[in-house]
Structure 1
């Protein structure tokens, strides 16, 4: 009888390696692994600072300190001053409010128009669907910046609500096509047909059966529309067609970039630009996460 310390089996074979069990990863780290935690934290910090702008600012953001024109960052003006003598540090937080609000409001407009239009087109008959999609393709063939410039010139002097509306009504076409494609796939499912037979109207079917089934597929477009809207507002302001200079936003701050280049005041461009770029990057990263999750779930079906 073999002793207790004697091996009962001997493993043989080419390239044999002993199995070493891997250390178990704690469940908390498994849950957050692969998620854009850093992006969420950065975005939350920026939004929180913008909300608490009154407590963070040390100067009047709309005040003109004429004795401190174009001062570089120092102990009194942390981010320096612009060519009008305004404190950039205080303007960053108040301007972030306007830029983020424009992004969110434009996103809501884009989502409402795009989802409604896409659902109508997806549930309509072939002729109506063809007409609606051809109309979207024709309008979408026009450069979005050209549409923005046309509407801005028609509406006259801009404010936060007007600029959000202009951006929203010119940016929903891609979302409408995605929604239409998703609705066409599920419109003949049993639960949709049953709801129609029971007398549910279009809004009830869209709210209870259509939207819940394609919401994950459009999250990336919806979230990305926030960063797109913020960048559009900045572009219009840089061109002198966005918000007026007295309405503080990151875009209106960058509208003074031409003066800053001539006077070599780099902080007037770099600091608002850094906050704008970081915000756009983290929002895009969060949107990419939802896109990857949607693709992963679709591949597992």
Structure 2
């Protein structure tokens, strides 16, 4: 019986079987896995083409070729012409400049107002914080399009700077609430209290101690505000309240959609709309990547 047990059980020591961990292979493609490479390439290509539009256009983007009204895409006009005889291919690159600039300027305004307002509300006492948040809730309860229409009617004829300002000052409420909630969590950290005890002013505390600690949490909102601003500009132009037709942008190009529908000129709607939608999608995808990265880092803490 003892011999049988010895055959079934073998006595082993601590070094009977050594564990050799597999070496992690860190390749270039492995590092790129999960990152929005395609979106970055597409967005970079569109931006560069808009920047160097002088080297790409083949007709005057503001010229009216009256003998070529509503021509479909052909060898001379690559994307066709609109009801005013303008070359859509050349307008795409020049119009992209205005649309992207509006998105970036509006994002800057939204970020500056939202971050500053949220930091003030988050670091203030309970009474001031309650008043500031009630004001944000009241303002955000009003439809943003109604606020934009009110400001547009007051400011008169629109240009790139005016419409960027209008979109920016009516779209920062959500960002301010996010910043306020983040600041309320970190305002009692030792380094913030130490800075306040040493007499540091609000701007020093905000730029040195507050913003670096919540910048990753607001990246998604900041990046997404670019695509939101571009879509708002297109909506206003489509309604006839945005940029005038003589100021070329993707939105102002879509403002001729009603005429294009009547004349069955599908390229006037599809091509500018396709560029706009693709740009909005890639910007949103990049913003989603930063949101996922922020959530992943937060879950690992």
TM-score if structure 1 supplies the norm length?
0.92
Partner of 2:42: 42
Q: Does 1:73 align with 2:73?
A: yes
Partner of 2:17: none
1:45 deviates by 0.1
Partner of 1:253: 253
Partner of 1:263: 263
1:251 deviates by 0.1
Per-residue Cα deviation, 1:215-243 (whole angstroms, up to 9, x for no partner): 00000000000000000000000000000
Partner of 2:148: 148
Partner of 1:169: 169
1:278 deviates by 0.1
Partner of 1:5: none
Partner of 2:107: 107
1:22 deviates by 8.7
1:246 deviates by 0.1
What aligned pairs does 1:83-98 form with structure 2 within 5 A after superposition? 83-98=83-98
SS at 2:298 equivalent = helix
SS at 2:85 equivalent = coil
Per-residue Cα deviation, 1:167-189 (whole angstroms, up to 9, x for no partner): 00000000000000000000010
Name the CA distance, whole Å, in 1 between partners of 2:23 and 2:37.
23
Name the CA distance, whole Å, in 2 between partners of 1:183 and 1:114.
12
Name the CA distance, whole Å, in 2 between partners of 1:86 and 1:36.
35
1:31 deviates by 1.4
Alpha-carbon RMSD: 1.5
Name the CA distance, whole Å, in 2 between partners of 1:27 and 1:203.
43
Contiguous gaps of at least 5 residues in structure 2: 1-8, 11-20
Name the CA distance, whole Å, in 2 between partners of 1:25 and 1:235.
49
Name the CA distance, whole Å, in 2 between partners of 1:26 and 1:136.
47
Select between 197-206 and 111-120 the one with higher mean Cα deviation.
197-206
Name the CA distance, whole Å, in 2 between partners of 1:118 and 1:27.
42
Name the CA distance, whole Å, in 1 between partners of 2:281 and 2:23.
34
Per-residue Cα deviation, 1:92-127 (whole angstroms, up to 9, x for no partner): 000000000000000000000000000000000000
Partner of 1:6: none
Partner of 2:225: 225
Name the CA distance, whole Å, in 1 between partners of 2:174 and 2:158.
25
Where do 4+ consecutive residues of structure 1 move more than 3 Å? 21-26
Name the CA distance, whole Å, in 1 between partners of 2:25 and 2:101.
40
Partner of 1:215: 215
Partner of 1:242: 242
Name the CA distance, whole Å, in 2 between partners of 1:243 and 1:53.
20
Name the CA distance, whole Å, in 1 between partners of 2:51 and 2:142.
37
Partner of 2:120: 120
Partner of 1:183: 183
Name the CA distance, whole Å, in 2 between partners of 1:214 and 1:29.
30
Name the CA distance, whole Å, in 2 between partners of 1:49 and 1:188.
48
**Count of residues in Structure 1 that have an aligned counterpart in Structure 2:** 283
Name the CA distance, whole Å, in 2 between partners of 1:297 and 1:24.
21
1:27 deviates by 2.4
SS at 1:86 equivalent = coil
Per-residue Cα deviation, 1:239-264 (whole angstroms, up to 9, x for no partner): 00000000000000000000000000
